[in-house]
Amino acid sequence: MNKQIIKKRKLFSYVSIFVLCVGSLFGAVYRCAKLVEKNYLEQLEQNLEDVAFQISQSLREQIEIRYELLKSVAIRFDIEPEKRLENLYMFEPVTDAFRLVRIGFCDKNGISHATSGFSADLRFREFFKRGMNGETYISDVLQDAMDENHDHVTVMSMPIHNRAGEIDGIAAITYKTEYLSDDISSEIFEGVGATIVISENGIVNISSNESLINIHDNLFNKLFENMKDENISRTEIVNRIIGGNYRERNNYFTLIFGNKEYYYDVEPVNIMGEKHVWYAISLVPKEYFAARFRPTKVNLYRMLMFVLIFGLVSIFLVEVVSMHQRSLTNRMAYVSPLTGGPNTNQFFNILKRNEISDGFMVYMNIENFTNTSLAIGKGRSNKLLKSTWNLLALEERSDDLFCHNQKDSFLLYFGNINEETLEKRLELLRDIIHDEAISEHISWVNAHFGIYKIRKANRLEDASHKAEIAAHDVHPDSKCFAYFDDKKQKRQIELQKLEDHFDEALNAREFEIYFQPKYNSAEKRLTGCEALVRWNYKGKKMVSPGEFIPMLERTGKIVKLDEYIFERVCEYQSNWKKSGLKIVPVSVNISKATLFLDNIEEYYCSILERHDLTTREIQLEVTETLVSTSGSMANLLNRFRDRGFKILMDDFGTGYTALSTLNLQCFDTLKMDKSLIDGIENDFGQDLLAGVIEMTKKLGYYITAEGVETEEQFLFLKALECDDIQGFLFSKPLPANEFALRIETPIHPAA
């Protein structure tokens, strides 16, 4: 379930990242497009401005040149008012030079005289009226009244004066309007743009594109007509165009001609000595801009698509590669290479993720796997582990989690189960695993289980460790599982401390020797004693051998201890001997590991010699089970016996092979184990002991009874003529000085 949530979250974050990326990409491209569009527009505005400015410049030049001419003509007329006609003909050549239609003047009645020779009544013409009013004037485009072609012309006029300085007529020059527009290229913006020139009142004097607007039309009126729908007033249009506020920030007003919108720019043209203003306007259709910008836009969006597709493909590839990588890493980190199931890491991860705080941790071990591996080969034994895993996986329920741990061990977690059911399931597992092994002809393979009940405060790793410790407690002859024992573990820790401290303890002489006297049953006379070791651990507490001997035997350190005790016992014996005591033989316990050392008998003899002792004064105790396990033991013991040592068989009557070992004839004394002595309290035990003693005595063995605690036991043994008695009834093991006192008084006080 958790996995699904993680997957969903992951997907969500991927989708979010993707949407965010695509969103910001679109945003970026949109901004980019807007920026490019703005740049384009600014560029366009600049171009329009340049065009309008050029027109205005050229127009101004054209008009001002002619205005200057007009002024000189007027001055000429003013200088000699009576010779105006004659002077007029003087200007004839100038007419062509200035590309004029004619130069002329009107008298105060409006009768005109022109270089072309025509004369007409122009009383009602505006330029006449204005001139007579004293104004300098430039007409809007007119149709030439003096020419049958009625060409478009522009007339410039100014007043002329008589000698009294009164206005008595006007001087005028007329030129073809088309000459004005000569310099104005109509080929702007690849022919789709247009330029027009209007006068203050909106009349079009020049139009580079008459399909747009005709010369002589009124631009303001025309625009007003076109833009009526936009709820725009004529004044506003006039203001926009000649008021200079035709453009607001980032908002391009457009002009509409027909159904086409145009971007435009206006440049005022001050003419006639700045007495009049015309306006040069450059125009370009909005769609021209759109058409020019479209490819850029398309390219931008193509680029976006490309980046998107590229991005998607990249993300896809990265995801595929990283998925592959992830699964590889996951496999390495979380999958057992042997079984293909989860490994220990993954096992703990899952349990932790599920916040496990109860259930059972079970450590499953395949018994004797190392030997199995040696017997059937690595390949087959691995196959066996794999099929074991397959069986486990089949038995795994929804509350369980199993994994392969190490080599021949598996960790099994069982949730939601009681002990009884758990034990049944474990027995079932043992059976199916055993059956599988049998089918593979590996009949000796068995599984056993260590169980630890998980509590809230437990770390799961600790739980598995404890389950493993519990698995060591499974006895081959009993159940296939064992529960973790807390006390046992504490003991284990204590033992570890002892082991770690052993070498130091030897040097610090922490091992002390106690002597337990043996008395003969007939007279209660001291006949010998057994040396028993005690560990005065760091001078703090006495540790009995039952606690540390098995550990020393397991680690092999017992050899050192045996040697040390033998040496110390010899020391005591020789001291007592030297002090004149009538010493008795002391038996020293010797372990199997020591017996197997090369030339050990020689070495022990050398110790005896060093202390001026003989084999009559030191005996050796060997446990019966040691002997029964190996026939070669008899040879080793006989090597000691050959040197004169007496060998005592310790704990006689506890093992299985006791009787057959008698046949080996490598002992002098049999020490009847305490368990046989304790049997005296019932008839069968009495008969058994009586039979054993009678038989062994008959075979010539010297008999010592161990662990004699009661008078009843003593009397019974005495009646059977058991040779020696050792037990608390007569004495506990004693410290050396106390035992020395016993040597001094060889008869037991109770005798």
Strands 702-705 and 724-725: parallel
- 342 versus 733: smaller Cβ distance to Ca ion: 733
Whole-number minimum distance, CB 648 to Ca ion, in Å?
7
Q: Of 45 and 512, which CB lies nearer to ligand C2E in the complex structure?
A: 512
**Among candidate residues 677, 725, 723, the one with its CA nearest the CA of residue 696:** 723
Stretch of 19-27, 162-170, 351-359, 705-713 lying at the interface with ligand C2E (CB under 6 A): 705-713
- Looking at beta carbons only, is 381 or 516 nearer to ligand C2E? 516
Cα radius of gyration (the chain): 65
Q: Considering beta carbons, is residue 104 or 585 the nearer one to ligand C2E?
A: 585
Instruction: Tell me which of Ca ion, ligand C2E, none is bound by residue 679, counting a contact when its beta carbon lies within the kind-specific cut-off of 5 to 8 angstroms.
Output: none
Would you say 160 or 722 has its CB closer to Ca ion? 722
Give the whole-angstrom CA distance, residue 633 versus residue 614: 23
Minimum CB separation of residue 606 from ligand C2E in Å reads 19
Nearest to 706 by CA among 545, 530, 564: 530
562 binds ligand C2E (CB under 6 A): yes
Q: Does 589 bind ligand C2E (CB under 6 A)?
A: yes
Region label for 483, one of left (φ > 0), alpha (ψ between -120 and 50) or beta (otherwise):
beta
**Residue 361 binds to ligand C2E (criterion: CB under 6 A):** no
Is 651 a binder of Ca ion (CB under 5 A)?
yes
Q: How far is the CB of 665 from Ca ion (least distance, A)?
A: 20
Residue 283 or 637: the one with the smaller Cβ distance to Ca ion is: 637
- 175 by DSSP, 3-state: which? strand
Q: Which range of residues in 276-284, 307-315, 350-358, 704-712 is near Ca ion by CB under 5 A?
A: 704-712
Dist CA 566 CA 587 (whole Å): 9
**Judged by CB under 6 A, which stretch of 134-142, 236-244, 392-400, 703-711 contacts ligand C2E?**
703-711
Residue whose CB is less far from Ca ion, 175 or 640: 640
Hey, is 613 helix, strand or coil? coil
726 binds Ca ion (CB under 5 A): no
Q: How far is the CB of 619 from ligand C2E (least distance, A)?
A: 12
Secondary-structure percent of the chain, ordered helix, strand, coil, rounded to 5: 50, 20, 25
Amino acid identity, residue 305? M
Contact, 723 vs 712, CB < 8 A?
A: no
**Cβ pair 593, 553 in contact under 8 A:** yes
Tell me which residue of 612, 625, 623 sits closest to 562, measured CA to CA. 623
If one asks whether residue 622 binds ligand C2E (CB under 6 A), the answer comes out as no
From the CB of 471, what's the least distance to ligand C2E, in Å? 28
Alpha-carbon distances, residue 588 vs 112, 607, 723 (angstroms): 166, 13, 19
- The least CB distance from residue 651 to ligand C2E, in Å, is 6
User: Which of ligand C2E, Ca ion, none lies near 662, with the C-beta cut-off 5 to 8 A by kind?
Assistant: none
Q: Is 420 exposed, middle or buried (0-12, 13-18, 19+ CB in 10 A)?
A: exposed
How far is the C-alpha of 709 from the C-alpha of 730, rounded, in Å?
8
Closer by beta carbon to ligand C2E, 590 or else 720: 590
Give the residue with the Cβ less far from Ca ion, 360 or 548: 548
How many residues at the interface with ligand C2E, by CB under 6 A?
22
- Closer residue to ligand C2E (CB): 100 or 532: 532
What one-character DSSP code corresponds to residue 140? P
Residue 516 site contact among Ca ion, ligand C2E, none (CB < 5 to 8 Å, cut-off depends on kind)? ligand C2E
Both structure tokens of 731: 């004495």
Letters for 628-667 (x = contact with ligand C2E by CB under 6 A, - = none) are: ----------------------xx----------------
By beta-carbon proximity to Ca ion, the closer residue of 404 and 674 is: 674
Among 58, 139, 381, 516, binds ligand C2E (CB under 6 A): 516
Residue 381 or residue 704: which is nearer to ligand C2E going by CB?
704
Candidate list 601, 621, 723, 724; residue touching Ca ion; CB under 5 A: 621
Cα–Cα distances (Å) from 448 to 368, 406, 437, 482, in that order, read 11, 15, 14, 8
Q: CA 41 → CA 33, 49, 293, 408, distances in Å?
A: 12, 12, 10, 80
Does the footprint of ligand C2E cover residue 565 (CB under 6 A)? yes
Q: What gap in Å lies between CA 664 and CA 442, rounded to an integer?
A: 37
Of Ca ion, ligand C2E, none, which one does residue 546 interact with (CB within 5 to 8 Å by kind)? ligand C2E
Total of residues contacting Ca ion (CB under 5 A): 5
Cβ proximity to ligand C2E: between 81 and 545 the closer is: 545
User: Which partner in ligand C2E, Ca ion, none is near 685 (CB below 5 to 8 A by kind)?
Assistant: none
Report the DSSP beta bridge partners of residue 156: 138, 173
Q: Directed axis angle between helix 711-719 and helix 683-698, to 10°?
A: 40
- Taking the C-alpha atoms of residue 748 and residue 731, their distance in angstroms, rounded to an integer, is 9
Minimum CB separation from ligand C2E for residue 401, in Å? 45
CA-to-CA separations, 709 to 514, 615, 715, 748, in angstroms, rounded: 18, 30, 11, 15
- Is 199 a binder of ligand C2E (CB under 6 A)? no
580 binds, among Ca ion, ligand C2E, none (CB under 5 to 8 A by kind): none
- Closer CB to ligand C2E, residue 235 or residue 544? 544
**Residue 665 near residue 696 (C-beta atoms within 8 A):** no
- Asked if 532 touches ligand C2E (CB under 6 A), the answer is yes
C-alpha separations of 658 from 515, 628, 651, 664, 670 in Å? 27, 7, 10, 10, 10
Decide: 112 and 186 in contact? Cβ < 8 Å: no
H/E segment holding residue 487: helix 486-507
**Considering only residues 707-736, where is the footprint of ligand C2E by CB under 6 A?**
707-709, 726-728, 733
Amino acid at 515: F
Smallest Cα–Cα separation from 549: which of 509, 601, 592?
592
* Pick 440 or 553: Cβ nearer ligand C2E: 553
Q: Which amino acid is at 67?
A: Y
Burial 74-109 (b: 16+ CB within 10 A, else e): bebbbeebeebeebbeebeeebeebebbbbbbbeee
Q: How far is the CB of 328 from ligand C2E (least distance, A)?
A: 57
Q: Of Ca ion, ligand C2E, none, which one sits near residue 733, judging by CB under 5 to 8 A according to partner kind?
A: ligand C2E
Nearer to ligand C2E, 641 or 671 (CB): 671
Task: Quote the least distance from Cβ 376 to ligand C2E, whole Å.
Answer: 39
For residue 454, the minimal CB distance to ligand C2E (Å) is: 38
Q: Binding partner of residue 131 among ligand C2E, Ca ion, none, CB under 5 to 8 Å per kind?
A: none
In whole angstroms, give the CA distance from residue 512 to residue 574: 17
Binds Ca ion (CB under 5 A): choice among 650, 676, 693, 703? 650
What is the nearest approach in angstroms of ligand C2E to the Cβ of residue 374? Answer: 32
Residue 532 binds which of Ca ion, ligand C2E, none (CB < 5-8 A, kind-dependent): ligand C2E
Residues 442, 469, 549, 551: which binds ligand C2E (CB under 6 A)?
549
Instruction: Report whether 446 contacts 480 (CB < 8 A).
Output: yes
Distance between CA 392 and CA 394 in Å, rounded?
A: 5
Positions in 530-589 near Ca ion (CB under 5 A):
589
Please give the residue ranges that form the binding site for Ca ion (CB under 5 A): 589, 621, 650-651, 706
Please give the residue ranges that form the binding site for ligand C2E (CB under 6 A): 516, 532-533, 544-546, 549, 558, 562, 565, 589, 591, 621, 650-651, 707-709, 726-728, 733
